[in-house]
Amino acid sequence: MALHIIVTAKQVSDPEMPISAYSIDAAGPRVVTPATFQPVINGFDENALEAALRLKDSQGATITVVSVGGQFALDIMKKALAMGADNLILCQDPLFAHLSDSFVTAQVLSAAIRKIGAFDLILCGRQASDWDNAQVPLMLAELLDVPCLSLAQKVEAADGKVTVEQLVPDGYVVAEAPLPALVTVSNELGAPRYPTMRNIMAANRKRPTLWKATDLALDPALLTSRIELVGLSFPSRTQQCEIIAGADAAEAGRNLALKLREAKLI
Amino acid sequence: MAEARGVLVIGEVSAGQLSGTTKEVLAAGRPLAQQAGTGLAVGLVGHNLASAAQEALGAGGDRVYMVDDALLAEVRLELYLAALVELCRTVAPDIILLGRTALGRDLGPRLACRLGVGVLQDCLRVELDGASGRLTATRPVYGGNVLAQARCLATPQVAALRPKAYAPLAPDPARQGEVIAVPVALDATTARVAVVRQVRHDSAGVKLEDATIVIAGGRGLGGPEPFRELQELAGMLGAATGASRAAVDAGWVPGNWQVGLTGKTITPDLYITVGISGASQHMAGCSGAKVIVAINKDAEANIFREARYGVVGDWHIVLPAFMEAIRSLH
C-alpha cells in the first residue's frame, strides 16, 4: 500500500534578503521585513518535501503538506503542490501569528495531524531559517509518540520501517525505526526540485484546506506561550577591516602573509 | 517569583570523560545558582560515570545526580530521555541548562516537551532577570542578523547554550560534593530506534573544532580542486580545513567540513577564508574566531564587515603568492 507522508512546512522571510532590509518593531517585539521581499517556504522544509517526493517517485506515496501560521501568502505555499505534493493544509489563525514558543507550534501541528488521521511518515525540515530553533519536529514526535530520527541526509521506507542516514559530527549513522515515525531532513539530502510547468498549472487549480484554531479543538491552555520574547536588537559590528593592498593581487597576497606574521598570528 | 529550587546542568560524558561543553555550561550555571542562592546540581546519564562525576564537581558542580546503567553505555535517545525525566523529577530544579551539542540538540526539546515546557535555544548568554527572577537568554536569530532576548514563563526553565559561548572555570580538584545515584528501571524494549551501522569519516590532520588556525573555502573557489591548495596551506600552518555550506552543497568537500549554523561552530585564533562571501548562516559558525582574514574579489562581500584583515582580489593570484610568502617565512 502506498505510504501516506506528512511534510511540515513553515512560511518564512527570505533568508537571502540583505541584512539592511530587516527592521525591528520594538513594540511587538518583532522582526519586520519589507513587503517588497516575498516570503518563501523554509528551505529545509523544501528538503523534507524533496525527500517525500523521492519516496513518491520510487514507490508511490500520498503527500500532505501541513503548515501553521497567522497569515499565509497562498501563492508561496502552493509551491509545495507545484513541486508534487497532493494536499496542502494551512492552519491559519491570528492566534498562530508570531508564536514565540515552539512547544505551542508543536501542539497546533499535532492537533492538525491527529485531524488528518492515519500516516506512515512525517518529514520535517531540520530547523526554520528564521528562528533556527530546531525544536518543533522533535516536540511533535514526542506529542504524537512516534520514533524520531533527526538530521537525515537520506530517507528510505520499506517493510514497515524507515531507514535513514543521520548526520553526526564526524560522518553519519544508519538508523531505522518502525513506521509510523518522524524524520527531520537536512540540506545534505540534496536540492529540492523545481516545479514543472504541468504541476504549476495543476497546483493553480487546487485549493489548500484552511483550518482555524476552532477547527482543531485546541485546549486554550496549551496555546499559552511558556516563552516570552522580551526584546530584539541588531548585533553591534565594531570590526574595522584593514584592507591589505599591493601593486597587484600577488603582492597583496605576499603583504597579507607579512602582516599576519607581524601580528604573530602565524 | 517561583521558589528557588536550584539549577541543574545536564552533562555529557564520552569515553568516561566529562565533555568540554558540559564544563562551559557549568561555568554559565555557577553565577545563576549563586544569584538564586541555591546549589548547582549536575545530572549525568551513562555507564561508569564515577570519574566524570568527580570532574563535574571540579568544574563547578555542587552535587551530582547520576543514572549509571549498562543500558546507557551507548547513546540511545529514548533510554537517555527516560533516565533524564526521572532525574529531573528527583532533582525538581527551577532551571535546567544543557549544551546545544549534537546530543543536546536531540535531548533538549524532547526532554522539555516531556516536562511540558519549551526551550530557550542556542543561547549566547543566560541570566536571571532582575525584576522577575526568571531565566532570560540572549540568542541569535535570523541567521545571526538579529539578537533576541527571551524569558521563560513556566517552570522548569530550560536553556540550551551554544557551545563555546562560555569559557569553562579553572578545574579545582579539591572541590568536594555529594554523588547521588538515581535508580531508574530502564526498559530496553522502549527504544524504537536502532542503529544499523556507523560510517565515520577519517578526519586526517587537525580537528576542525579544536584547531587554533582554520583555513576555509567557499563558493568562490569554483570547484573541488582548489581545496587541495587549502589543505596544503593548512599543512604549512598546522591548521584545519573547513568550508561554507555552498561548497558542501555543491559536493566539493564532505559535509563534516562545514562551518556555520548547520555545520560546526569554531573559535580559532585565526580564521582565513578564501572565496567565502560571509553569509550570516556561515558567520554564525565562526563569529567566535579571534581574527578573521578574508580573501575575496568582491569588495562589497559581507565577510569584509566581519574580517580584521582582507585582500580584495582574485584568489587564483592572491593565494599562491600568499602561500609562497608563508613558505619563505617558515
Cβ burial of A54 (10 Å; 0-12, 13-18, 19+) is middle
CA–CA separation, A104 and A108 (whole Å): 6
Cell (9 digits) for B297: 574579489
CA–CA separation, A238 and A21 (whole Å): 20
| Closest of A181, A46, A42 to residue A120, by C-alpha | A181
Q: Is A256 on the interface with B (CB under 8 A)?
A: yes
Q: Which of A153, A251, A260, A262 to mutate to test the interface with B (most CBs of B within 10 A)?
A: A260
Predicted pLDDT at A156: 98
Q: Amino acid letter at A21?
A: A
Question: Are A233 and B200 inside 8 Å of each other by CB?
Answer: no
CA–CA separation, B327 and B321 (whole Å): 10
Predicted pLDDT at B255: 86
Minimum distance, in Å, between the CA of residue B26 and any CA atom of chain A = 22
Asked if residue A169 and residue A258 are part of one domain, the reply reads no
Q: Which of A40, A135, A143, A238 to mutate to test the interface with B (most CBs of B within 10 A)?
A: A135
CA–CA separation, B301 and B218 (whole Å): 12
User: Of B110, B143, B146, which has the smallest distance from its Cβ to A232's Cβ?
Assistant: B146
| Closest of A206, A200, A181, A211 to residue A86, by C-alpha | A206
Q: How many CB pairs under 8 A join A and B?
A: 252
Minimum distance, in Å, between the CA of residue A129 and any CA atom of chain B = 7
Question: Are B310 and A244 inside 8 Å of each other by CB?
Answer: yes
Question: Are B118 and A252 inside 8 Å of each other by CB?
Answer: no
Minimum distance, in Å, between the CA of residue A206 and any CA atom of chain B = 32
Asked if residue A30 and residue A123 are part of one domain, the reply reads yes
Q: Which residues of chain B have pLDDT under 70?
A: 1-4, 202-204
Q: Is A187 on the interface with B (CB under 8 A)?
A: yes
User: Of B77, B147, B192, which has the smallest distance from its Cβ to A233's Cβ?
Assistant: B147
Asked if residue A162 and residue A40 are part of one domain, the reply reads yes
| Closest of B123, B151, B148 to residue B28, by C-alpha | B123
Question: Are A22 and B121 inside 8 Å of each other by CB?
Answer: no
Question: Are A103 and B117 inside 8 Å of each other by CB?
Answer: yes
> Is A102 inside any structural domain?
yes
Cell (9 digits) for A186: 537536512
Q: What is the pLDDT of residues A176-197, one digit of tens each?
A: 999 999 999 999 898 899 999 9
Asked if residue A250 and residue A148 are part of one domain, the reply reads no
Q: Is A156 on the interface with B (CB under 8 A)?
A: no
pTM of the model: 0.90
Among chain B residues, the shortest Cα distance to A135 is held by B109
A84's CB contacts (< 8 A; 6+ apart) are A49, A53, A56, A63, A193, A195, A199
Under the phi-then-psi rule, with left for phi > 0, alpha for psi from -120 to 50, and beta for the rest, what region is A104? alpha
How far is Cα of residue B137 from the mean position of the Cα atoms in its chain?
16
Q: What is the pLDDT of residues A214-253, one digit of tens each?
A: 999 998 888 889 999 999 999 876 678 999 999 999 999 9
Minimum distance, in Å, between the CA of residue A146 and any CA atom of chain B = 9
CA–CA separation, B149 and B137 (whole Å): 6
Asked if residue A240 and residue A172 are part of one domain, the reply reads no
Q: Which domains are assigned to chain B?
A: 7-190 (3.40.50.620), 208-329 (3.40.50.1220)
Instruction: Decide: A88 and A206 in contact? Cβ < 8 Å.
Output: yes
Per residue in A210-237, is it b (16+ CB within 10 Å) or e — as a string? ebebeebebeeeebebbbebbebeeeee
CATH code for position A211: 3.40.50.620
Minimum distance, in Å, between the CA of residue A262 and any CA atom of chain B = 11
Residues 93-132 in A contacting B (C-alpha not used; CB under 8 Å): 100-104, 106, 126-127, 129-132
- What's the mean per-residue pLDDT of chain A? 94
Q: What is the pLDDT of residues A120-157, one digit of tens each?
A: 999 999 999 899 899 999 999 999 999 999 999 999 99
Asked if residue A79 and residue A210 are part of one domain, the reply reads yes
Indicate the number of domains in chain A: 2
Instruction: Find the domain containing A240 and state its range.
Output: 236-266
Predicted pLDDT at B78: 97
User: Of A175, A226, A266, which has the smallest distance from its Cβ to B153's Cβ?
Assistant: A226
Asked if residue A71 and residue A44 are part of one domain, the reply reads yes
Beta bridge partners of B158: B96, B119
A53's CB contacts (< 8 A; 6+ apart) are A63, A83, A84, A85, A193
Predicted pLDDT at B327: 94
In this predicted structure, the answer to whether residue A89 has a pLDDT above a threshold of 80 is yes
> Is A72 inside any structural domain?
yes
Bridge-based pairing of strands A40-41 and A61-69 is unpaired
A72's CB contacts (< 8 A; 6+ apart) are A11, A90, A92, A208
Per residue in B86-97, is it b (16+ CB within 10 Å) or e — as a string? bbbebbebbbbb
Predicted pLDDT at A169: 83
> Is A112 inside any structural domain?
yes
Asked if residue A215 and residue A183 are part of one domain, the reply reads yes
> Is A229 inside any structural domain?
no
User: Of A176, A177, A228, which has the smallest distance from its Cβ to B151's Cβ?
Assistant: A228
Q: Is A185 on the interface with B (CB under 8 A)?
A: no
Asked if residue A177 and residue A259 are part of one domain, the reply reads no
Residues of B in contact with A248 (CB under 8 A): 317
Average pLDDT over residues A254-263: 96
> Is A105 inside any structural domain?
yes
Asked if residue A261 and residue A167 are part of one domain, the reply reads no
Asked if residue A116 and residue A207 are part of one domain, the reply reads yes
| Closest of A87, A124, A117 to residue A10, by C-alpha | A124
Asked if residue A178 and residue A81 are part of one domain, the reply reads yes
Element (H, E) at B107: helix B102-114
Report the 3 state secondary structure along chain A. CCEEEEEECCEECCCCCCHHHCEEECCCCEEECCCCCCCEECHHHHHHHHHHHHHHHHHCEEEEEEEEECCCCHHHHCHHHHHCCCEEEEEECHHHCCCCCHHHHHHHHHHHHHHHCCCCEEEEECCCCCCCCCCHHHHHHHHHCCCEEEEEEEEEEECCEEEEEEEECCEEEEEEEECCEEEEECHHHCCCCCCCHHHHHHHHHCCCEEECHHHHCCCHHHHCCCEEEEEEECCCCCCCCEECCCCCHHHHHHHHHHHHHHCCCC
3-class SS at B34?
Answer: helix
Predicted pLDDT at B204: 63
Predicted pLDDT at A170: 82
Instruction: Decide: B247 and B218 in contact? Cβ < 8 Å.
Output: yes
